[in-house]
Amino acid sequence: MDTGYSVAVKKLGTIGVTVAIMRPGTKLPHEISIFSDDELRVRAEQAAAAEAEAPVEASE
């Protein structure tokens, strides 16, 4: 995210402005995704397979 800040000094006071420009494809906090039961099952199987393939580090 690109941000910019500027200050303008006017007769009645100082005005500060902050602007943030979002890049294309940025996910906003209010955006949600709804998955079907089948898709959730597939994602869980993929996560389990990826976890099984990952090497386990020994803790000291």
For 25-40, how does the pLDDT look when each residue is reduced to its tens digit (9 = 90+)? Answer: 887 888 788 889 999 9
* pTM reported for the whole predicted model: 0.37
pLDDT above 70: percentage of residues in the chain: 88
Ranges of each domain in the chain: 24-53
Please name the residue that has the structure tokens 């906003």: 28
Please name the residue that has the structure tokens 């006017």: 10
* Range 43-54 average pLDDT: 86
State the pLDDT at residue 29.
82
Q: pLDDT averaged over the chain? A: 85
50 close to 34: Cβ distance less than 8 angstroms: no
Q: C-alpha 38: how far from its chain's center?
A: 25
Q: In the chain, how many H helices and how many E strands? A: 1, 2
